[in-house]
Structure 1
Amino acid sequence: MPPEPLTRERILEATEEVLRRHGQAKATVVDVARALGVSHGSVYRHFPTKAALREAVTGRWLERTTARLEELAQDAEGPAADRLSDWLETLFTAKRHKAGDDPELFATYMVLTAETARIVDAHVAELVGQLARIIADGVVQNAFTAIAGRDAEATARAVFDATARFHDPRHAGEWHHAEIGEEFAAVRDLILRGLCAPAQSATPWPNSSAE
């Protein structure tokens, strides 16, 4: 039986296993090649540098989060409020599973993402873009109120930033707390109420110093 062809996907799968076994500090291209039963030169034909390989495996890890989220973003016929709620919960659930199911690999990727800002920025831009589509659909459906002076992308960025505690890996230490689910639901519901609220003319804040 002929050997299985060496593909980018096989290399990335082997790289992830090597990272899980050795950690990012000790994992080498030679380790990856050995796991595949090929020479390290064969790996370099697909990824010219170790940095390129690390970027690719980090991008692959991040992309696993986006598939289901993209389905929700594309469903233009579905109620926008339900899609936004599901999108936020799906993102939070995916991040919690990554941190809790494989903590060693999660810790390794925390280091790798810090080294690959370009990949992370592209990932965040994709997520914000998905949110923007849902919010824009909600305005078209009259489910969401457009915010004066702020387009769908700016609103999406605000929603993304407001929920950072529930998807930014820097907060992963909080995700195992018993009350985190309720706290997530409170923030999600607050965001939905804000987007669904009817537009009102601006009124001044009460003057606390007034008698």
Structure 2
Amino acid sequence: MTPADPLTPERILEATEDVLRRYGPAKATVVDVARALGVSHGSVYRHFRTKAALREAVTARWLTRTEVTLTEIISASTEPAPSKLRHWLATLFESKRHKAGDDPELFATYIVLTGESTVVEEHVRELVGQLREIIEEGVRSGQFAVDDAAVAAQAVFDATARFHDPAYAAEWQNPAIGAEFTAVSDLLLRGLRA
């Protein structure tokens, strides 16, 4: 490592992803991460106090990427709420599907890491909160008719679990999955409409 490349948490997290991809979560160590960065493992521990903290941070980073993309749909889109909701759901599905298909080794690693992590609960709360925002917008505009946007948001999230929960990843390559996603989305949107 040269002075031009300071050791930052972001560099450590990038290296950790590479190490996890290469060795898997059971065999990857902080020493492997340090070796990949050309530093001592003590240097890594200065940024992340424990191996668990490092794994938690890399999991949070992975989940946050999806959250940021979905937040942009809410904040930048001028679509009416029903279209925005369909766009949001489709983007979540495609994001998860690409993560599973484009980098299966790292995806399998994250399945293990998310099982150990508390950040998954925060991630789910964030996603359900985003859904609530869209549903509230639809209620305000008279496009959705629901009594409790928070309950409706949780119901939409739960009803679409097959299209975003990693437990269903094996089904995401099924040729019929796109049509099945559309059918579920159509049904949910009809149920929300005023």
TM over 0.5: yes
Matched, 1:50 2:51: yes
What is the rounded CA distance, in whole Å, between the counterparts of 2:109 and 2:60 in structure 1?
A: 14
**Alignment match of 1:154 (pick from 145, 151, 154):** 151
Q: Deviations over 1:78-108 (max 9, x none)?
A: 3101100000000000000000011111001
Map of 1:131 onto structure 2: 131
Is this contact kept in 2: 1:80–1:138, CA < 8 A? Answer: yes
What secondary structure, in the 3-state scheme, does the structure 1 residue paired with 2:173 have? Answer: coil
What is the rounded CA distance, in whole Å, between the counterparts of 2:175 and 2:78 in structure 1?
A: 35
Matched, 1:23 2:47: no
| Aligned-residue offset at 1:66 | 1.1
What is the rounded CA distance, in whole Å, between the counterparts of 2:75 and 2:136 in structure 1?
A: 12
Post-superposition, which runs of at least 4 consecutive aligned residues in structure 1 deviate over 3 A?
75-78
TM-score normalised by length of structure 1: 0.89
Q: Deviations over 1:107-131 (max 9, x none)?
A: 0110000011x10000000000000
Q: Deviations over 1:117-158 (max 9, x none)?
A: x100000000000000000000000011123xxx11111000
Is this contact kept in 1: 2:77–2:84, CA < 8 A? Answer: no
Is this contact kept in 2: 1:96–1:172, CA < 8 A? Answer: yes
- Say which is worse superposed, 3-12 or 73-82, in terms of deviation: 73-82
What secondary structure, in the 3-state scheme, does the structure 2 residue paired with 1:43 have? Answer: helix
What is the rounded CA distance, in whole Å, between the counterparts of 1:48 and 1:26 in structure 2?
A: 19
Alignment of 1:27-106 (within 5 A): 27-75=28-76, 77-106=78-107
What is the rounded CA distance, in whole Å, between the counterparts of 2:132 and 2:180 in structure 1?
A: 24
Q: Deviations over 1:158-181 (max 9, x none)?
A: 000000000000000100000000
Alignment of 1:174-189 (within 5 A): 174-189=171-186
Write the letter of the residue equivalent to 1:127: L
TM-score normalised by length of structure 2: 0.96
Instruction: State the aligned residue count.
Output: 193
Map of 1:166 onto structure 2: 163
What is the rounded CA distance, in whole Å, between the counterparts of 1:76 and 1:29 in structure 2?
A: 41
- Say which is worse superposed, 74-83 or 61-70, in terms of deviation: 74-83
Gaps of 5+ in 2: none
Q: Is the radius of gyration larger for structure 1 or structure 2?
A: 1
| Aligned-residue offset at 1:77 | 4.8
RMSD, matched Cα:
1.2
Q: Deviations over 1:171-209 (max 9, x none)?
A: 00100000000000000010011111x4xxxxxxxxxxx
Is this contact kept in 2: 1:73–1:131, CA < 8 A? Answer: no
Gaps of 5+ in 1: 199-211
What is the rounded CA distance, in whole Å, between the counterparts of 1:135 and 1:25 in structure 2?
A: 41
| The structure with more helix, counted as a fraction of residues | 2
Write the letter of the residue equivalent to 1:140: R
Write the letter of the residue equivalent to 1:20: R
